[in-house]
Structure 1
C-alpha cells in the first residue's frame, strides 16, 4: 500500500520586511543577508497571528468536506506552542470543523516536529487505510531585534494531508535517523526568544546530514544519481547548499548541475518567507514542486530534516502520476502577490506587540489582518480565535 502526501499547502502572514532595508538599518552590507545567508524577504507575524492561527490558515486552504470527515488524527508539529498542556492541534481541529472522532496531539523536537508527525501518520494509515491524517508544521522564529539571529527570523505554516494512495508523493521506506544530545539551539520555558550557538549549529547540521546520507545510501542502495532533487530544512537558504556541496563530488557533472539547479527552485518560497522551523523542509518541497515546471511523474525527491538539540533524518519520496494537478499554485502566487511590505520601523513596532504576560484580558483588532483565521484576544487567560468564514 502506498502512503504519502495527498495534499500540501502553506500560509504566511500578510506583511514582510525587505532584507536589503533591514541590513541597511542594522549597518550591515546587504549582500550579507541576500547572498551570505540567501534571504530576500522576511515574513512578519502580527499580534493577531500565532502558531495555531497560522496552521489553521494553511490547512483551511487544502481541506474539503470529504477530508473533514476522514481526518481522524491531527498532529501539530511546533516549537512555538502557546500552551504547556493543551495541544495546538485541538484548537486547529475545532477551527476547521473536523470530525469529532479524532486524535489531536502536539509534537516537539525543534524543527524536526513535522517530520516526526509524518512518520506517526504513516503508521496510523497503515493500520487504518481509509483514514487521513492532518500534519501541521507551524512556527514563528523569534531571536529579538538587533540580535545575530534576527536575519533568520520568519513566520508561517505548512499543512499536509497524509493518506493511502497519495496523489502527490509516495513516501519510501528507507528512512535513516540520528539523535545526539547537543546544545546548538534551545529555548527554555521562561524565554520567548531562542538561544543559538550559530557556528556550532551549522557544523552539526552538516555533520548530521553527512551521517544520515551515508547510512541512507547503504540502507536504500541508492546514490545521488537516483535523486532528481534534494530538499533541505532551511533555517536560511544558504544552509542547505552548504550541506549539499559536501557530497556533490560523489556524482557526475550532469547530476551535480541538476541537483544544484533544482536546489535553487526549492528555495524560492523560503527565501521570501524566512525560517518557519518545523515547516521549513516542507515549504522547500512545496517550492520545488510549484517552481520547477520540468519535474516529472516518478521522480525521486530526497529530503533532509534537522531539528536542533538534535535529531536528523533523511528519507525520500516518489512523485505520483499527475501530481501537478493537485497543487495549489495559483493560491500561493496570490498569497505572495497580496503581501504588504512594512518599513523596518514598522516591523520593530509589530515585533514588540505581544499578548499581556500578566493574564490581562485584551481585544485585538483583526480588521487589519486579511487572514480567514485570526487570534482576536484573550479572556480569562484563554486565547480567543475567530474563523471569519463562519
Structure 2
C-alpha cells in the first residue's frame, strides 16, 4: 500500500475506553504508520476493569480526545466541532454505547462525513447498531458469521458490510523449541474473565479432565469482571491443586508459552485472536462451535470443535494425545502451517487500509 495522498482526510475512532492489546488500537496504530491521520476518542478515562492503554503516542501529537464530559445530546456539539476542526472524513464507532445516540445528530449536521460501525461479535453492541443504523454508512466485521448476521437482521436494502478477517503477527508467535511429553501436557484458558467467554465452563471441564486424566495440569490467564468469581470457584472445587490462576499477562505470548492445549469455551464470540496466536505457536485448540470460531478451527486438523460441556468427547481427544504424543505433535505442525497460510496480520492490515481509503475517497 502506498503513502497517504492529499485527498485523504482524518479518521476519528470512538471507543468507550482504551484497553491494552485491543485489536482496534493495533490496527489504528498500523494505519497511522501507513500515513493515515488517525484520531482516538474515548468516553471513559478508565479501562472498564482491564489494563488501560494510555495512548501516549497519540496524545503527544494531539490525536487523543477525551469525550468523558461529552455524554448525551449535549456532547454532540463537541463531537461535531472535533470532526470539523480536525477535518475528519471517517468516524469509526468502536463499541462506545455513549456515541451511538450522538451519531444521528452528527450525521444531520455533517452529512458528508462517513460514519461506520465496527462489530466483532453478536454480543454487546448489536442492538444499538440496528437502532441507529439509519445514520450509518456501513459496518466493518471480521467473520462470515457476523456478515451473515448483519445481512439477515438489517432493515437497510444495502447495509454496506465490509468483511476484514483478523490476523496476527506471525513473527511474534512461534512454536516452542522443546516439545512436551504425554505426562506433562498443560491445558489452558486465555481470555477475558466475562460471562460470554465462559471461564467457569473451563473450570468445570478442567475438573472433569482432572478426574479422568490425573497427570494433566491446567492454567488460566486473563482479567475482567469475573476474576474473583473464577478464583473462588477454583478454590472450592476438587481440582484446585492442579488449576493455576495466572491472571493478567503483559503479552499473549507469555501465557501461550505455558500451555500445550488451548480451550476456548465461549458462549458468544467473534473471531478470537487467541486461536490464531495459539496455532502460530503450534498449540492445538479445542473451541466451541459458535460465532466465527468454526472459521478458524478445522476439526481434526488444527484443533477440534466441541461444546465445552461435551466432556467425554474432549476427554477422548486429550487422552489420545497423552497416550500418543506423536499424534499431538502432528497437530502441532498442522497448526503452524494453517497459521502461516491463513492468519497473517499483514494481509489484515492491507485489507483495513483498502477499506479505510475507499471510505475516505467516497
TM-score, with length taken from structure 2:
0.30
Compare CA radii of gyration and give the structure with the larger one: 2
Higher relative contact order (CA 8 A, sep 6+): 1
Name whichever structure is richer in strand by fraction: 1
